[in-house]
Chains A and B, each alone.
Chain A
């Protein structure tokens, strides 16, 4: 009898395990942040197997002429869950997907939006064309199962700076600095601004393809846009302009302290020990991202900061 019970239990758990092995499930809840406007706020950790790469904020605007999606997420499964989340609030079809930039958590959900017009800036298209596969397999190694069946989709060129879709007047700004092309989407009808990864909030920013002076310029341009509500690329929705201020402050501190380290003769291993100031302790995973930033920025800083002493033709 006991043996039978045990066997039944084993079978039960076995079945549960099998069900789990069949696929990763994203738990996406669209939050209405303005009229017709919804966001899906991601985890603030780094890519891992629990979050399935969902560390990103995506959003969508429901119009009378269809749904406009801002960023498709990290995987095919995410894109499919995203579609179901959209269908839970509207029966309108998705007509347009705007990919803000070429980082994998922002564009690898695009497969699920076949049939919609998927657009991005020229440099983003080039990056996805050349390195999309690499970015997908790298993310696969970081998050595992959630990535199954994910293939990069190369977007078409966004060929306009403004348009009206179903009564919503959209303005598109092509900026740069986080990557070579960062699209900022402004819905003038609702006043909602989607900044992509030019703005991080309460989460340490990332710099694998950053050009800091251009990034700082872009932040000034964002400050000049008359938005009512901002959706940053990562982290919660800020109340006012504090997310731009925080992004600018951290970016300046990060580059300033690493430039100072290189100019002062320190090596990369010593730079890891630079103390992150108290005011940045509220940023999620700041220690982890600081170390990654040192590894990504230090070699380039040395290249420009160490004086030439000889040779070369």
Chain B
């Protein structure tokens, strides 16, 4: 661990209190040690997954992020799960952030792959946990070194206030993948304030749903504080989940603002399959 963020220490202390609760004694098996040696993983595990079965599965749950990060406010992260069958839910966690959960993704009719950018407060492990249909969480991760300050520096739009006039704006496009499913890329104008900057309350998009033009819900996301300002997410729908008529995107934020936009159908092939 690098640095001694007082907020993190407080967080760790609180979690420490939780881990010493009697719940742990009732747990039959000793949890495996975190391969990424995150000091806060045990606490995060208790709080996020309780006593649900969980195993580290680095071969099937891959998290890709740069080892050295250029900008702590814009860290590209891609999570992909392969060979585990149907995935109910994926949770992405930046361990040493004051609010660690970056996003919860329910793929529904999407492949279990999600790319996004998140804020990192300091050098940290990033974990992704994928829930299989048998109720087991499969966990992978990576480590990033960061210049820091991603959560406790004001967003660029906060200082410019430009989001006030563009708050409902959504950008996006669909591309047809080689397997017949669609790749959707969405960008939403939103400051995504964490609440950890003095004087700026938490204000972020906490719900994002994707429907086909016919009205079938095909994916759902619940972003957390770490998702970057003006968030960009990429997801891949299965051929069955894709629509030749296009899509509808619904979102809402922690202040009760909400919006909806129509995404035209894919007219162009995706440049290349992911490597």
Contact = CB atoms under 8 A, between A and B. Distances in A.
Interface of A: 138, 141, 208, 260-261, 263-270, 272-273, 291-292, 295-296, 298-299, 302-303, 306-313
B187 A312 contact: no
A141 to B, nearest CB: 7
Contacts of A270: 78, 115, 272, 274-275
A310 B64 contact: no
B261 A264 contact: no
Contact of B275 (A264, A268, A273): A273
Given A138-B147, A269-B77, A295-B66, A310 B261 contact: yes
B71 A295 contact: yes
A104 to B, nearest CB: 14
Interface of B: 64-66, 69-71, 74, 76-78, 115, 117, 147, 165-173, 175, 183, 185, 187, 189, 230, 232, 234, 249, 259-264, 268, 270-272, 274-275
Given A260-B271, A265-B271, A308 B71 contact: no
B78 A302 contact: no
A270 B177 CA distance: 14
Nearest to B79: A269
7 contacts: A141-B147, A264-B270, A266-B272, A268-B76, A295-B71, A306-B172, A307-B173
A288 to B, nearest CB: 8
Nearest to B246: A309
A303 B69 CA distance: 20
Which residue among A141, A298, A299, A313 has the maximum number of chain B CB atoms within 10 Å of its CB? A299
A67 B66 CA distance: 44
Contacts of A306: 171-173, 185, 187, 232
A310 B173 contact: no
Contacts of B64: 269, 272
Contact of B78 (A267, A292, A299): A267
Contacts of A208: 70
B264 A309 contact: yes
Q: Which 7 A-B pairs have the closest CB atoms?
A: A264-B271, A310-B261, A311-B168, A312-B169, A269-B78, A265-B175, A306-B171
B15 to A, nearest CB: 28
A295 B147 contact: no
Contact of B69 (A269, A273, A295, A310): A295
Nearest to B174: A265
Given A264-B175, A269-B78, A302-B187, A310 B275 contact: no
A87 B270 CA distance: 61
Contact of B70 (A265, A296, A307): A296
A272 B64 CA distance: 10
Nearest to A304: B171
Residue of A138, A260, A268 contacting most chain B CB atoms (<10 Å):
A268
